[in-house]
């Protein structure tokens, strides 16, 4: 039982299989650097509270420096696995004792793994949320850069609803729309990073606080929190920030997944809107001609995977009472795995998107297919004095006739409807838009500029 942080009241060792079943070491290793930081905060609380002296605090900090180096070079993970530790927190405590000797036995004074885990998870969440926000900002900025290029070229696109041709828009409008989703994702993640720095659970001990005079303010300050948490019973079992982090990461990947669905279709010969560089394509082991957009397909799959992780994390806290319960070990594992997976998916999407080449000539040539200017004719009929229902019916009849005659809508249709000046071409449709937020070039340019400003402010706010 030497590797355990408990056991004095037990007469025999636990069942080895059950101990293995309860171990979280592998999942916890991702938290090792944050646990070292958490321990530094506890040293500050112990020293400032007069529980340990300056020499003991120095010995503990030097030992933690050694452990941090081992974590960075990978040797700590090997050592911890060989020691069959229950979790990374116990492994780090044992390694500190190896380096600090008697002083190392004071590191856990007044501290429980309950407040230690809660604090360590918040430190992880703060950095992971900021990293995720930067990924989302990078994607949004890339979209706006591509949107500016497409705007200059006035590339047109037949936008769809229900995957049916709907109305002509600028490709820049589509790219700017994509940027909006990632800007929102970045804002959510930045909010999680801020929340993760508000209240420090360290010093809450198991659930009731400590009888030792720990300086919780010193610990919070050392770790970059605004203040100590207000209620120990709540703090040790609170996983709201961790769940918010996984939710925000999931939402960001879902934005990438939705875009991936469109891009996968656009690479097909049926659309031929997109050409993907070799760097982001794969082939077939059987069919020599194949060019597959695998990164985007995998991003879609990762979106589904994260939905499962988030649902599992939520379910693991469902029904457990206040304070700490071992169920939360599974919450932690779901969050850690999901966040790492989500960050990888966002990075892959950003890399693959940089290898997308839009075939503007094909898009523009097909922007009017499917009678996409019909709504503009109906709007013109309304402005000429008809009701919306009358206009809808009259234009629908012209579309039916054009379909039967296998021709597009044209000037003769506009004339027959009594609106000869109405736009009957995709560019005229786009230039005819009058509302803010529309696909009109001026509205798109304004949105691109405003989004870039918002991204810059958001980027500066990240820790």
pLDDT of residue 325: 93
Of 6, 216, 199, 208, the closest CA to residue 118 belongs to 199
Tell me the two tokens of residue 216: 């919780």
pLDDT reading at 171 higher than 80? yes
Give tens-digit pLDDT for 250-277. Answer: 999 999 999 999 999 999 999 999 999 9
pLDDT reading at 127 higher than 70? yes
User: pLDDT exceeding 70 applies to what percent of the chain?
Assistant: 96
Phi, psi of 230 (to 5 degrees): -90, -25
HSE-CB at 414 with a 13 A cutoff on CA atoms is 19
Integer CA distances (angstroms), 125 to 90, 200, 338, in order: 21, 13, 12
* CB atoms inside a 10 Å sphere around CB 400: 11
Do 263 and 231 contact (CB within 8 A), yes or no? no
pLDDT band at 356 (very low <50, low <70, confident <90, very high): very high
Cα angle value 234/126/32 (rounded, 5°): 90
Cα angle value 245/249/254 (rounded, 5°): 145
Fold agreement (16-109, 114-148+172-365)? no
In the block, which residue shows the tokens 């303010």? 217
| Least confident interval from 27-31, 138-142, 239-243, 417-421 | 27-31
CA distance 53 to 47: 6
In CATH, the number for domain 114-148+172-365 is 1.20.200.10
Do 114 and 325 contact (CB within 8 A), yes or no? no
Do 206 and 177 contact (CB within 8 A), yes or no? no
pLDDT reading at 357 higher than 80? yes
Do 249 and 342 contact (CB within 8 A), yes or no? yes
- Ordered DSSP codes for 172-192: HHHHHHHHHHHHHHHHHHHHH
Regarding beta strands 199-200 and 227-228, do their DSSP bridges make them parallel or antiparallel, or are they unpaired? parallel
Provide mean pLDDT across the span 313-331.
94
pTM of this prediction exceeds 0.85: yes
Q: Is 162 a catalytic residue?
A: yes
In CATH, the number for domain 16-109 is 1.10.275.10
In the block, which residue shows the tokens 């589509």? 174
Do 198 and 225 contact (CB within 8 A), yes or no? yes
19 against 140, higher pLDDT: 140
Helices (H), 209-317: 216-222, 232-235, 240-266, 294-317
108 against 22, higher pLDDT: 108
Provide mean pLDDT across the span 142-169.
98
Catalytic residue among 12, 162, 211, 285: 162
In the block, which residue shows the tokens 């007044």? 110
Give tens-digit pLDDT for 360-407. Answer: 999 999 999 999 999 999 999 999 999 999 999 999 999 999 999 999
Of 47, 21, 37, 127, the closest CA to residue 89 belongs to 37
Catalytic residue among 12, 204, 210, 284: 284
pLDDT band at 463 (very low <50, low <70, confident <90, very high): confident
User: pLDDT exceeding 90 applies to what percent of the chain?
Assistant: 93
Do 214 and 46 contact (CB within 8 A), yes or no? yes
pLDDT of residue 23: 75
Tell me the two tokens of residue 241: 């920030």
Cα 149 → chain centroid: 27
Please, which residues bridge with residue 358 across strands?
A: 274
Do 209 and 203 contact (CB within 8 A), yes or no? yes
pLDDT reading at 194 higher than 70? yes
pLDDT of residue 1: 45
Give tens-digit pLDDT for 5-52. Answer: 645 566 666 766 766 677 788 988 999 999 999 999 999 999 999 999
pLDDT reading at 3 higher than 80? no
Of 107, 337, 232, 105, the closest CA to residue 329 belongs to 337
Domain locations in the chain as residue ranges:
16-109, 114-148+172-365, 374-454
As to burial, measured by CB atoms within 10 angstroms (0-12 exposed, 13-18 middle, 19+ buried), residue 141 is buried
- For 199, the 3-state DSSP assignment is strand
- For 254, the 3-state DSSP assignment is helix
Host H or E run for residue 92:
helix 88-100
CA distance 39 to 104: 11
* CB atoms inside a 10 Å sphere around CB 83: 15
């Amino acid at each position: 039982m030497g590797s355990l942080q408990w056991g004095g009241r037990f007469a025999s060792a636990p069942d080895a299989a059950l101990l293995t079943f309860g171990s979280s070491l592998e999942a916890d290793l991702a938290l090792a650097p944050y646990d070292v930081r958490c321990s530094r905060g506890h040293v500050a609380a112990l020293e400032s509270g007069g529980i340990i002296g300056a020499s003991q605090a120095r010995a503990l900090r030097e030992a933690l420096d050694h452990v941090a180096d081992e974590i960075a070079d990978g040797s700590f993970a090997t050592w911890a696995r060989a020691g069959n530790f229950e979790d990374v927190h116990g492994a780090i405590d044992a390694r500190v004792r190896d380096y600090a000797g008697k002083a190392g036995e004071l590191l856990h004074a007044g501290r429980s793994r309950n407040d230690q885990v809660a604090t360590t998870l918040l430190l992880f969440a703060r950095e992971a949320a900021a990293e995720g926000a930067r990924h989302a900002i990078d994607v949004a900025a890339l979209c706006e850069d591509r949107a500016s290029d497409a705007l200059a070229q006035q590339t047109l696109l037949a936008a769809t609803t229900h995957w049916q041709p709907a109305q002509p828009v600028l490709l820049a409008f589509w790219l700017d729309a994509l940027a909006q989703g990632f800007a929102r994702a970045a804002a959510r993640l930045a909010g999680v990073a801020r929340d993760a720095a508000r209240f420090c659970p360290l010093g809450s001990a198991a659930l009731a606080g400590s009888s030792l005079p720990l300086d919780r303010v010193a610990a919070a300050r050392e770790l970059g929190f605004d203040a100590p948490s207000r209620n120990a019973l709540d703090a040790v079992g609170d996983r709201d920030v961790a769940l918010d982090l996984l939710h925000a990461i999931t939402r960001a990947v879902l934005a990438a997944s939705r875009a991936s669905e469109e891009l996968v279709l656009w690479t097909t010969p049926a659309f031929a809107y997109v050409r993907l560089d070799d760097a982001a394509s794969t082939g077939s082991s059987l069919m020599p001609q194949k060019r597959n957009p695998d990164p985007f397909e995998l991003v879609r799959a990762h979106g589904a995977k994260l939905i499962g992780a988030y649902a599992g994390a939520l379910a693991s806290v469902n029904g457990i009472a206040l304070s700490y319960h071992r169920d939360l070990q599974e919450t932690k594992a779901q969050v850690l795995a999901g966040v790492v997976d989500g960050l990888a998916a966002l990075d892959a999407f950003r890399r693959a998107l940089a290898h997308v080449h839009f075939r503007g000539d094909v898009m523009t040539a097909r922007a009017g297919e499917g009678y996409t200017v019909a709504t503009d004719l109906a709007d013109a009929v309304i402005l000429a004095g008809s009701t919306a229902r009358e206009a809808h019916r009259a234009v629908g009849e012209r579309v039916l006739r054009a379909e039967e005659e296998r021709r597009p809508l044209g000037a003769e249709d506009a004339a027959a409807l009594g609106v000869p000046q109405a736009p009957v071409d995709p560019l005229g449709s786009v230039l005819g838009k009058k509302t803010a937020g529309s696909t009109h070039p001026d509205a798109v340019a304004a949105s691109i500029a405003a989004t870039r400003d918002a991204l810059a402010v958001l980027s500066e706010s990240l820790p």
